[in-house]
């Protein structure tokens, strides 16, 4: 992993919208490196970068942030986080975005391949599992360096709702949501605990069913309330957890969309599964034994992702 001329890491944010701007702020405040904020809208990334550069003295941060409409400015980036694309409007499913966002992802993949060939690429754009698949195909980067962010966010939503239900700290809840980033995502109850105590021992099954239903619809719940755009604070924070796992070689176990090569009985498809993330990107896919219902749900979710890939 190369550092840039300052000795600091270079993080390229492709798309400077709601998530991109929040990512830029988090990269700065968490001292992860220098930031290049790229977007096709003229002036907007430059404006956000200028604003964020004025936050630096307030917090005593020395990060450098540049806004640009020239993709060549991402040159030599260690990490590219891709949010370019349209977000959902109320009533839309993530899959409705497939054609428009595929065009955009194809475009930026070309730029990443040319200017940041050594970067780890984290894709956030929806429909997530199809867009990260496309990014890997278009860049031709090894699959350990092209990862989709959704599992960290979906898991965080599950954790938040469970902590609220149990009236305990969010840090006491350990959970997993696997599968595709759609309404058929798979909250894995059998591996979800409150400090080691299975949640099924603490919350009645019908109540857990309702919580898991809310997890699956949580993105849509936010979209319906906002009316324009979709969630952005928590998606940005979730991606930052992945950037940190990579740059700081944390070997963190988290859920992410990765290319499967026979794991979980699936091949040639990007899907959310537990991985170990460190300086090699995806260092390992962790295979856990799922119960029959969870396994069935995971495969149904994979079928849905494959249907989207067929459209591409
Ligand atoms: O968990 C997850 N993966 C997600 C995904 C959670 C929430 C939202 N998720 C998706 O992320 C959402 O459905 C969208 O597809 C993306 C980005 O969401 P965001 O809220 O940041 O959308 P914005 O604010 O509309 O920003 C998108 C920016 C916008 O500024 C466009 O001008 C820009 O993308 N854009 C481009 N940038 C670079 N290059 C090209 N070609 C381009 N086209 C549009």
Q: Is 194 in the pocket of ligand 1 (CB under 6 A)?
A: no
In tens, the pLDDT along 58-101 reads 999 998 999 999 999 999 999 999 999 988 888 888 888 898 99
Ligand 1 centre to CA of 235 (Å) is 11
Catalytic residue list contains 181: yes
For each of the domains in the chain, give its residue range(s) and CATH number, in order of start: 10-148 (3.40.50.720), 151-311 (3.90.110.10)
CA of 175 to the centre of ligand 1 (A): 27
Spatial distance between the Cα atoms of 298 and 40, rounded to a whole number of angstroms: 36
Mean pLDDT of the chain: 96
Closest protein CA for atom 7 of ligand 1: 231
For residue 260, what pLDDT band results from cuts at 50, 70 and 90? Answer: very high
pLDDT computed for residue 5 by the predictor? 57
CA 178 to chain centre: 13
From the list 54, 115, 181, 299, the catalytic residue is 181
> Ligand 1 within 6 A of 145 CB?
no
Say yes or no to pLDDT of 56 above 90.
yes
pTM of the model: 0.97
* CA 238 to ligand 1 centroid distance, Å: 15
pLDDT one-digit tens code per residue, 95-113: 888 989 999 999 999 999 9
- Asked whether the beta carbons of 294 and 190 are under 8 A apart, the reply is yes
Residue 169 has φ and ψ, to the nearest 5°, of: -65, 140
Q: What is the pLDDT of residues 218-245, one digit of tens each?
A: 999 999 999 999 999 999 999 999 999 9
User: Binning pLDDT at 50, 70 and 90, where does residue 4 land?
Assistant: low
Burial class (CB in 10 A: 0-12, 13-18, 19+), 195: exposed
Atom of ligand 1 nearest to the CA of 153: 1
CB of 178 closer than 8 Å to CB of 170: no
Mean pLDDT along residues 131-136:
98
Q: To which H or E segment does residue 177 belong?
A: strand 177-178
Ligand 1 mutation pick, 15, 103, 218, max ligand atoms within 8 A of CB: 15
pLDDT at 130 over 70: yes
């Amino acid at each position: 992993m190369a550092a840039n001329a300052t000795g600091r890491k270079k993080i390229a944010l492709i798309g400077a919208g709601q998530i991109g701007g929040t990512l830029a702020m988090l990269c700065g405040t968490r001292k992860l490196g220098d930031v290049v904020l790229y977007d096709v809208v003229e002036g907007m990334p430059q404006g956000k970068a200028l604003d964020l550069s004025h936050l630096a003295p307030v917090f005593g941060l020395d990060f450098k942030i540049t806004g640009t409409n020239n993709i060549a400015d991402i040159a030599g980036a260690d990490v590219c986080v891709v949010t370019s694309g349209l977000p959902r409007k109320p009533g839309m499913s993530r899959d409705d975005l497939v054609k428009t966002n595929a065009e955009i992802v194809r475009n930026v993949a070309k730029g990443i391949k040319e200017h940041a060939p050594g970067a780890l690429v984290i894709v956030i754009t929806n429909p997530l599992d199809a867009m990260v698949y496309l990014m890997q195909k278009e860049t031709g980067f090894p699959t350990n360096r092209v990862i989709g962010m959704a599992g960290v966010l979906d898991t965080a939503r599950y954790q938040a709702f469970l902590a609220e239900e149990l009236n305990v700290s969010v840090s006491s809840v350990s959970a997993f949501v696997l599968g595709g980033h759609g309404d058929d995502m798979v909250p894995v109850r059998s591996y979800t605990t409150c400090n080691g105590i299975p949640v099924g021992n603490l919350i009645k099954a019908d109540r857990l069913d309702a919580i898991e239903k809310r997890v699956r619809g949580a993105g849509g719940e936010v979209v319906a309330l906002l009316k324009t755009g979709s969630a952005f604070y928590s998606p940005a924070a979730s991606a930052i957890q992945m950037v940190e796992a990579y740059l700081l070689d944390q070997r963190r176990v988290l859920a992410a969309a990765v290319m499967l090569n026979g794991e979980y009985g699936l091949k040639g498809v990007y899907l959310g599964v537990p991985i170990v993330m460190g300086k090699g990107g995806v260092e390992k896919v962790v295979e856990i034994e799922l119960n029959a219902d969870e396994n069935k749900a995971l495969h149904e979710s994979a079928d849905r992702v494959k249907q989207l890939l067929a459209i591409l």
